[in-house]
Amino acid sequence: MGLLALLLACAATARAADADRFCPPLPAAAHFVWSHYRGPDFDVCHALRPGSDSTVFGIYFGWHPSFNPARGTRLDPGVVGGRPVTWFVGASMRADGAFAQQTLIELTDASHAVAHVWIDAASQEELAESLRVLAQLSLESSRPLPRTPP
């Protein structure tokens, strides 16, 4: 039983190290932690509340986002990573989905990748908190970006 606990702790530490390496730094006052998934040509960072496995907001970094703004329903303008964005109605994993929104940002670094940012908040307060944190993120940092596009 002790070996299993040690292996699980090592796996959690490795996931946290991946999140630190591939996900943007969260502001000090943010009440979230990152969970990271690395695909063949993309990275996805999920913001979670500590001790929870429900994504509050997430960011896909890659070349083939599942969201196309041309087919989206516009919401309010906003800011992500200090850059102006237009928010669109988002898909939700929650029953009511009232606080789901998404946007797409073309990254200005040499990768030419995009960031698909989505929020799946449970309340107006959680939405406002997610918007505050996302406004402060640095999407273009020294972290490695996905491999070259396919």
pLDDT tens digit sequence for 99-144: 889 999 988 766 678 999 999 988 899 999 999 999 999 887 545 5
Residue with tokens 């102006």: 84
Owning domain of residue 125: 2-136
143 occurs within a structural domain: no
Domain count within the chain: 1
Residue 89 pLDDT: 84
Determine the residue type at 109: D
- Predicted local distance difference test score (pLDDT) of residue 125: 92
Q: Does residue 97 lie within any of the structural domains?
A: yes
**What CA–CA distance (Å, rounded) separates 117 from 105?**
8
Rounded (10°) CA dihedral 74, 58, 115, 78: 40
Q: Which of 27-31, 82-86, 92-96, 136-140 has the lowest mean pLDDT?
A: 92-96
148 in any annotated domain: no
Backbone dihedral angles phi then psi of residue 63, each to the nearest 5 degrees = -115, -5
Q: Is 120 within a domain?
A: yes
Q: Residue 142 domain-assigned?
A: no
Position 17 pLDDT exceeds 90: no
pTM across the whole model = 0.81
Q: Cα separation of 10 and 33, whole Å? A: 17
List, in order, residues 6 or more apart from 112 with CB less than 8 Å away.
63, 106, 149
Residue 149 lies in a domain: no
Q: Between 92 and 98, whose confidence is greater? A: 98
Q: Is residue 93 part of a domain?
A: yes
Contact between 87 and 75 under an 8 Å Cβ cutoff? The reply is yes
Is residue 146 domain-resident?
no
pLDDT above 70 coverage of the chain, percent? 75
